[in-house]
Amino acid sequence: MVRRRSPRGSGDRLAGEIVDAAIELLIDAGDDSAVSIRSVAARVGVTPPSIYLHFADKQELLDAVWSRYFENIDGVLAAACENVDDPLERLVRMGVAYVRFAVGAPALYRLLDARTPRKDHSPKGDELTASAPFVRLHEAVSELVGSDPDAGVLEFWAAAHGIASLMICRPDLGWDDDLGHAEHMFTALCRGMGGRGMSRSSGRRITRDGQE
């Protein structure tokens, strides 16, 4: 099906449709082998040269898919913690929302979770740590633990990835449909982070066996 020539000034809309088509092909095939300039052009209804006007090659297009994916995650995290004042509950909701988003599109998650875009095409010109959801998470952890949130961010991010990956790769482990297990694990993790933050702020040092 040949697409009608787009009116002047509609380039941004076409670029978005190209990214949408690439995402659809990724989900349908389960890997990026089905994504090519020709296949995306056919899905959108344009010629391959039209794709090159927006993306230099397949890798740049996949970088745009990666950026779109993390933009969507940020929207999911923002909606999950809207109007929630307690920092611990906010983090737990963000974690559960992240896992729900991942398991809702497992093929896309598996493909993009391990992908790091080229630096000049990643969000805000930087790598993962500059992406909107990572910045949002960093701010939320800072509210819970106070100063020096980097360790907490790493722990939370690792937990979110681990839970999502296990639910996708090993659904036979007895995960519940309402994500109660995930919520329980995020709650335990956030309580631990909050406790460590209070200990640091009060000048106490807690050892591995729980003694001061």
pLDDT in tens, 120-177: 544 444 556 667 888 889 999 999 988 778 888 989 989 999 999 999 989 898 898 8
In a domain, 207, yes or no: no
The dihedral formed by the CA atoms of 144, 146, 151 and 154, expressed in degrees to the nearest 10? 40
Tokens of 141: 């952890």
CATH of the domain at 22: 1.10.10
| Residues 95 and 170 reside in one and the same domain | yes
User: What whole-number distance in Å separates Cα of residue 99 and Cα of residue 161?
Assistant: 8
**Of 61, 65, 70, residue with least CA distance to 129:** 70
The structural domain count of the chain equals 2
AA identity, residue 76? V
Least confident residue range of 78-92, 101-115, 134-148, 184-198:
101-115
Q: What is the pLDDT of residue 68?
A: 87
Q: What is the pLDDT of residue 120?
A: 54
| Residues 179 and 77 reside in one and the same domain | yes
| Residues 127 and 22 reside in one and the same domain | no
| Residues 31 and 83 reside in one and the same domain | no
Do 37 and 47 contact (CB within 8 A), yes or no?
no
Distances (CA, A) of 182 to 1, 173, 174, 185, 186: 45, 13, 12, 5, 6
Q: Examine the pLDDT at 3 and tell me if it is beyond 60.
A: no
User: What whole-number distance in Å separates Cα of residue 74 and Cα of residue 180?
Assistant: 22
Give Dmax (Cα) for the chain. 72
Q: What mean pLDDT is predicted for residues 189-208?
A: 61
Q: What is the pLDDT of residue 204?
A: 39
Helices marked H in 34-149: 37-44, 48-52, 58-80, 87-104, 106-113, 132-145
Q: How confident is the model at residue 202 (pLDDT cuts 50, 70, 90)?
A: very low
**Of 89, 95, 111, 100, residue with least CA distance to 153:** 95
Q: What is the pLDDT of residue 121?
A: 47
Q: Considering only residues 106 and 42, tell me which one the structure prediction assigns the higher pLDDT.
A: 42
Least confident residue range of 38-52, 96-110, 128-142, 143-157:
128-142
Tell the residue number behind the tokens 């959801």, with chain if given: 133
Q: What is the pLDDT of residue 90?
A: 94
Mean pLDDT of the chain: 81
Q: What mean pLDDT is predicted for residues 106-126?
A: 63
Q: What is the pLDDT of residue 54?
A: 94
| Residues 69 and 47 reside in one and the same domain | no
DSSP 8-class letter at 148: -
Summarised one tens digit per residue, pLDDT across range 53-64 is 999 999 899 888
DSSP 8-class letter at 203: T
| Residues 145 and 186 reside in one and the same domain | yes
Least confident residue range of 15-19, 73-77, 192-196:
192-196
Q: Examine the pLDDT at 104 and tell me if it is beyond 60.
A: yes
Domain that holds residue 173: 65-201
Helices (H) and strands (E) in the chain, counts: 9, 0
| Residues 117 and 169 reside in one and the same domain | yes
Tokens of 127: 């790598």
In a domain, 71, yes or no: yes
Q: How confident is the model at residue 115 (pLDDT cuts 50, 70, 90)?
A: low
| Residues 85 and 147 reside in one and the same domain | yes
| Residues 133 and 195 reside in one and the same domain | yes
- String of DSSP letters for 184-196: HHHHHHHHHHHHH
